[in-house]
A and B are shown apart, each in its own frame.
Chain A
Amino acid sequence: MLVIGYGNRDRGDDGAGVMVAERLRKLGFDARILTGEALDLIEAWRGADDVVVVDAVESGAPLGKVWVWDGRTEKIQGSLPISTHGFGVAEAINLASILDCLPKRLRVFGIEGRRFDVGGEISPEVVSATEEVAKRIAGENSTRSASFNASPILTFNAE
């Protein structure tokens, strides 16, 4: 499984994906960090069969809510084209779909954020959510369990 934490640590809650990747690294797992525009995701996951992308989202849901989407079949809600030049994760997935270069399995964890100001602090609720998501991904990596439906904190529609 390839885990990619996407976002910007200098923009408040947009640091959620990066924080999850950092937590996974501390737990001894390999996780990539991607900052900047999301089209680079297409190159980052090229050749990988099972990919998890973690990103901050803003859909209007309660702060810190964790979403999980099947990136191949479901619409990503509240994906942020946040960087000053960027495309968001949703756009990267759409483009990859047209170009037939989506991974065989692609899950997107979205962590609901609210504050995205440059130089802003990450919300405590988002920090808690990153811990939950990191544990979740680490748990799956260590047990190699494919079940994502067990946790009450997550909403996930399996393929």
Chain B
Amino acid sequence: MTGRGTKTIRVDTLARVEGEGSLYIKLVGERVADVKLKIYEPPRLFEAFLRGRHFSEAADITARICGICPVAYQMSAVHAMERALGVRVDPAVRLLRRLFYCGEWIESHTLHVYMLHAPDFLGYPDVIAMAAHHRAVVERALRLKKIGNRIVQLLGGREIHPISAAVGGFYKTPNKQQLSELVPDLEWALEASLETVRWTASFEFPNFEQDYEFVALRHPEEYPFNEGRLVSNRGLDIDAAEYEDHFVELHVKHSNALHSVVRGRGSYLVGPLARFNLNFDKLSEVARSAALGAGLRPPVKNLFRSIVVRSVELVFACAEALRIIQGYEPPASPRVDAPNRTGVGQAITEAPRGILYHRYALDDRGLIVAARIVPPTSQNLRQIEDDLREYAARLVAWPIEEATWKCEQAVRSYDPCISCATHSLRVVVEREEVAVD
């Protein structure tokens, strides 16, 4: 290019979901002048909706925030309530909750790896176009996803917006026979997930490494789902109750979504890459071997490789589900009673796309007087913008269409709650040439 050019990369959602997700990048010459990612955040509405409701309703209400990760919302809600109310659950219930989470990770990771992100790497506009040439792969994905659905359905009572999770346990727990019936499918799923790792590891990845602050739960004995301290590679090591002392949400002009930052430091990364890097030693042997076989060794700093890390977590979820089912003894009672009482409780669990924070304050009738929900996507928003600022600077010489597509691929690496929308986008590209001497 001989002149100084202004390029604008704008990725708008369809008009009917306007405001839900859009990406705007402005390049001036070789400089990135502006990056704005807008995402609509349903949790804000739900925080208001929860006030005045009984604590027992929070799990069902928050499950409706997301059709993909209702289990995460339920788990963060019930754990926060149990902390507020001083309730301790049966160890068997605790294991069932881990199994519940395995189901959600299998569903969600399969959806993202195969249906949303793989088409980027294989050069297809979407999974429908990919299916025409990779039919067996897409069929494998549908079967894997169905197995995740079965686990969530068995424990949750129904596939989407499960209703069985309760403060103190479950309204109903499965017997050994019901869980054993899942074993053949899960044995197949474990093999299929190992194949998924080999498949995604064969993709080509842009060379883009960043120096992230990774933030994830860490448990002394387990790869994290429901419990643990919140840690980072920069010295953070806190209980969920201290979350709001260390993280703050900032208003930004261009979006109604809040940007979460670590106090005194700034953006941070949550999700598979963070979990993997901070908990590699807690992966089951089969998952760790799969990771090493795929060339993954912590710290993985290339966000595009998150598709392989997500596949490793798919292996972990299948193996963990099998382990839990094989040792399962039903709890003496599906749940313990939770009393109405005043209290405040905070909890963090690992949704497929990163940590999900809930805080509730309850009055003496058990009614919610305050609710706070910080979803994983809003925790990653600032980091996504930071990364795009760096990444777009490398794309200034590319044709605008290709640069736009590459930025979309980058955004999808975080599995944000707009992934699907960015596969059905109306993309508007503006280009302005500015003459120079």
| Residues of chain A at the chain B interface (Cβ within 8 Å) | 8, 10, 34-37, 39-40, 42-43, 58, 80-88, 91, 94-95, 98-99, 116, 118-119
Is the Cβ of B424 less than 8 Å from the Cβ of A81? Answer: yes
Is the Cβ of B16 less than 8 Å from the Cβ of A119? Answer: no
Q: Contact partner of B149 among A43, A86, A99, CB < 8 A? A: A43
Interface hit among B93-101, B124-132, B270-278: B124-132
Is the Cβ of A116 less than 8 Å from the Cβ of B16? Answer: yes
Q: Contact partner of B418 among A37, A84, A87, A118, CB < 8 A? A: A84
Is the Cβ of B161 less than 8 Å from the Cβ of A35? Answer: yes
CA of A81 to CA of B115, assembled, Å: 14
Interface of A is mostly: loop
The residues of B that contact A58 with a CB separation of less than 8 Å are 16
Is the Cβ of B420 less than 8 Å from the Cβ of A80? Answer: no
The residues of A that contact B67 with a CB separation of less than 8 Å are 8, 35-37, 83-86
A-B contact pairs, 19 of them (CB 8 A): A35-B160, A35-B161, A36-B161, A37-B111, A37-B420, A81-B14, A82-B17, A83-B68, A84-B42, A85-B67, A85-B417, A85-B420, A86-B67, A87-B420, A87-B424, A95-B127, A95-B131, A99-B139, A119-B42
Q: How far is the CB of B115 from chain A (nearest CB, A)?
A: 7
| Residues of chain B at the chain A interface (Cβ within 8 Å) | 14, 16-17, 20, 40, 42, 45, 49, 64, 66-68, 111, 115-116, 126-128, 131-132, 135, 138-139, 142, 145-146, 149, 159-161, 417-421, 424
The 7 closest A-B pairs by CB, nearest first: A36-B67, A36-B160, A85-B420, A85-B68, A35-B160, A84-B417, A98-B131
Q: How far is the CB of A121 from chain B (nearest CB, A)?
A: 13
The residues of B that contact A87 with a CB separation of less than 8 Å are 115, 420, 424
Is the Cβ of B139 less than 8 Å from the Cβ of A85? Answer: no
How many A-B residue pairs have C-beta atoms within 8 angstroms? Tell me.
Answer: 89
Is the Cβ of B111 less than 8 Å from the Cβ of A85? Answer: yes
Nearest neighbor of B67 in chain A, beta-carbon distance: A36
The residues of A that contact B146 with a CB separation of less than 8 Å are 43
The residues of B that contact A84 with a CB separation of less than 8 Å are 20, 42, 66-68, 417-418, 420-421
Q: How far is the CB of A66 from chain B (nearest CB, A)?
A: 19
Q: How far is the CB of A111 from chain B (nearest CB, A)?
A: 15
Is the Cβ of A42 less than 8 Å from the Cβ of B142? Answer: yes
CA of A81 to CA of B131, assembled, Å: 19
Q: How far is the CB of B124 from chain A (nearest CB, A)?
A: 12
Nearest neighbor of A117 in chain B, beta-carbon distance: B45
The residues of A that contact B159 with a CB separation of less than 8 Å are 34, 36, 40
Interface centre among A39, A83, A84, A88 (most CB of B within 10 A): A84
The residues of B that contact A86 with a CB separation of less than 8 Å are 67, 420
CA of A83 to CA of B67, assembled, Å: 7
CA of A8 to CA of B115, assembled, Å: 21
Q: Contact partner of B132 among A10, A81, A98, A118, CB < 8 A? A: A98
Q: How far is the CB of B38 from chain A (nearest CB, A)?
A: 14
